[in-house]
Structures are given as C-alpha cells and as structure tokens.
Amino acid sequence: MNIESGIIRTYGYVRVSSRDQNEDRQLIALHELGVSDGDIFMDKQSGKDFNRPQYQKLLSMLKKRDVVYVKSIDRLGRNYEEILEQWRIITKKIGADIVVIDMPILDTRTDRNLMATFICDTVLSVLSFVAENERGNIKQRQAEGIAAAKARGVRFGRPPKPLPENFPSVCQRWKAGKITGLAAAAECGMPMSTFRYRAAQETGSP
C-alpha cells in the first residue's frame, strides 16, 4: 500500500558490520519512532562486502512519499559519493522521504521549498564528507596503534599452541645434528615448517 491508495508507509533501515554486531542502538531508535519490526530492513556485512540485499529489497518496495528512517547518515553508504547517490535515488528518483534520526535537519518531510532543499542538500554534503573523513581517520589511528603495539613487542592473532613435552630434547638433538629436521618434526607431531619456526623462536636463532 502506498500513496496511490492514500497510505504512506514508514520503513527503517539498519546496517551493521560483521565486526560490530551491535544493532540494538539503531533498532531502539526506530522502535521509539513507531517503526514496526516487519518494516525494518537490516543488513549485516563484512568490511569488504557491501552487497546489501535487504537495502535493495527496501528500495524495490519504496513508493512516492513513503518515509525511510535511518539512525545516522553513514548507514546509507560507505563513502561520500555513495551516500549522496543513495540520497538522490530515494528522494529524487523514487520520491520518498528520508529522516536521519541523529540529525533532525535532515528530514525531507518538513519543507519542500527551494531554500529548504538547498539547506538540506548542503548539510548532507558536509556530513557525508565528515563521515567519510572520520572513517579514514579511524583506520589511520588503528594502523598507527597496531604499529606502535608491534614495536613494543605485542603479538596479534591467536596464541601459539603449547609445545609438546619432548620438544626441548628433540630440538637439542636436531641442533646437534643427531636427527634430521623431518624426523624431529615427526617426533613432535608438527609440520616441518612449524617445527623450524618454533625452534627458532625458542633458541633465538634460525
């Protein structure tokens, strides 16, 4: 049902990454505005995959004058250009309205005169740029933090498996040339490459 039948539908869109599964904040905001669960579309994605099936489903259902609520402007896209493009598709191509909950000035329902549209478009452009710039800053700070931690000797990833009890004696025999590396690795139940790597770690030599 849509504007042709005299009823305007209200939808909500939620997007979270696989690393940040906390969609509760967005859902609570939508529920407080009266958006029902059946009208909320949510995509969970990885950082590399931006295929948004629920968002595409939402676009296919949107009709003129329907309303889409999003918690923040960056839910619409990954970067400045994409946010502006999705805003254009929803408001200009489809003719639906967008309400950004965290930024009440970005509410296309309020006033459709030329000045209001100009102000809204200007604010949108600035906020989209700021959102993209902040994501870049976060990535840079993360990279700098990881580099600093590595310089302090912090190790990332899963901790190595504990060494077998016979590893020190087997390693000594291997270092002394009494057994081959292949035989030493077999005695410890380890792949050859892993045995050599752990032996170098324990002895401090390659």
CA-based end-to-end distance of the chain? 71
Reduced to 3 states, what is the DSSP secondary structure of residue 54? helix
Task: Calculate the alpha carbon distances from 123 to 73, 87, 144 in Å.
Answer: 11, 12, 31
Of the candidates 5, 17, 46, 60, the residue annotated as catalytic is: 17
17 as an active site residue: the answer is: yes
The neighbour count for residue 185, using CB atoms within 10 Å, is 21
> How is the chain split among helix, strand and coil, in percent rounded to 5?
55, 10, 35
Name the helix (H) or strand (E) containing 28.
helix 24-32
Residues labelled catalytic: 17
